[in-house]
């Protein structure tokens, strides 16, 4: 598979190549999966995605497979347990954000608002096929970030939101020559 043309960031490291080729940009509509990915993007703040990928399985285990109903019930004791877990990213602010974000996710659900349907409605229900230079944020990610923050979400700034939209296939930013671009466009 080395003869395939990929996005530049997904060409040098086997773990990143695998992520690029099988996950990144693939359209996700499942609410829980979208929420998990947003939480992982929050953990990336200030770090590389490679670090998050290396710790993803441990993060999933520590956060009950990112089941919002379970995470929302975490207590101060759970926060301390997580802060002592060397296998995960140990940032108190990120850990408490995930717990609060689980509660915000559930509040949306209790109000009859499906998280997946909500985010897809923000882009008109169909993935955006981006062309040209790829920004780190845009007016849309700023608007979605503000909406999430109004709902009580944390670690959802416009840059994190833009990365999340790319990773979950709401915006296809695969390079025009990348073999995944057309595949992802079809899946959208």
Annotated binding site: 7, 20, 174, 178
Residues in the annotated binding site for Zn(2+):
7, 20, 174, 178
DSSP helix/strand/coil, 128:
strand
* Burial of residue 160 (number of CB atoms within 10 Å: 0-12, 13-18, 19+): buried
The phi-psi region of residue 66 (left if phi > 0; otherwise alpha if psi is between -120 and 50; otherwise beta) is left
Each as own residue / partner, the long-range contacts of residues 57-64 (CB below 8 Å, 24 or more positions apart, any chain) are: 58/85, 58/87, 58/88, 59/88, 59/89, 60/36, 61/87, 62/87, 62/88, 63/39, 63/98
Residue with tokens 């009859």: 112
In 50-143, the DSSP E strands lie at: 128-129
Identify whether the C-beta of residue 70 lies closer than 8 Å to the C-beta of residue 64.
yes
Please state, in angstroms and rounded to a whole number, the distance separating the CA atoms of residues 14 and 10: 9
Q: How far is CA 141 from the centre of its chain?
A: 13
């Amino acid at each position: 598979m080395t003869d395939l043309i990929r996005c530049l960031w997904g060409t040098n490291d086997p773990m990143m190549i695998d992520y690029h080729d099988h996950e990144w940009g693939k359209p996700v509509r499942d609410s829980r999966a979208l929420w998990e990915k947003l939480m992982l993007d929050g953990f990336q703040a200030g770090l590389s995605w490679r670090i998050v990928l290396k710790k993803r399985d441990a993060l999933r285990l520590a956060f009950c497979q990112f089941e919002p109903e379970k995470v929302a019930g975490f207590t101060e004791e759970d926060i301390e347990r997580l802060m002592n877990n060397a296998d995960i990213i140990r940032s108190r602010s990120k850990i408490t954000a995930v717990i609060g974000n689980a509660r915000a996710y559930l509040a949306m659900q209790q109000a009859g608002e499906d998280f997946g349907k909500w985010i897809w409605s923000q882009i008109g229900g169909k993935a955006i096929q981006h062309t040209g230079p790829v920004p780190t944020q845009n007016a849309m990610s700023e608007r979605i970030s503000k909406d999430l923050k109004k709902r009580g979400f944390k670690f959802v700034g416009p840059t994190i939101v833009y990365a999340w939209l790319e990773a979950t296939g709401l915006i296809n930013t695969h390079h025009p020559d990348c073999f995944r671009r057309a595949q992802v466009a079809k899946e959208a």
